[in-house]
Amino acid sequence: MTEPAFFILTALVDEPRHGYGIVGEVATLSDGRVRLKIGTLYGVLDRLVGDGLVERDRDEVQQGRLRRYYRLTESGHRSLTDETERQAANARAATERLQAWRPASQGWAS
């Protein structure tokens, strides 16, 4: 799973959101590190809907502007859970390696 997809799913865990709302939520979630581009958002969103991880929710019109909401499906919830564990495992594996490497022995330039 790509990082944009991962964050979009995460942003939809607690409640349905619309496009622009997702962009803002992802920025918050990632402490400003990930700023979803608008073109990325809709492309990824369409793909997630096609894969059944996300569903169209209600459409709202607020102040004349359309808001198209999306919600997480059960399958999307499962995928996100799996992917999260996967990434945590990857990070653990790398951390172990990086910590085991300490002996100041065959370093690149010491």
DSSP SS3 for 107: coil
- Residue of 44, 53, 72, 80 that binds DNA (CB under 7 A): 44
Q: Does 80 bind its own copies (CB under 8 A)?
A: yes
Among 2, 28, 87, 90, binds DNA (CB under 7 A): 2
Closer CB to its own copies, 30 or 40, in the complex: 30
* CB half-sphere exposure, 57, CA atoms < 13 A: 18
Query: Whole-angstrom Cα distance, residue 90 to residue 4?
Result: 18
CA pair distance 92, 88, nearest whole angstrom: 6
Least distance in Å: CB of 90 to DNA?
14
Under the binding rule (CB under 8 A), the answer on residue 49 touching its own copies is no
Residue 57's nearest CA partner among 84, 66, 27 is: 66
Interaction between residue 52 and its own copies (CB under 8 A):
no
Q: Which amino acid is residue 54, in one-letter code?
A: V
Does 56 interact with its own copies (rule: CB under 8 A)?
no
Which residue from 14, 31, 32, 64 is in contact with DNA, where contact means CB under 7 A? Answer: 64
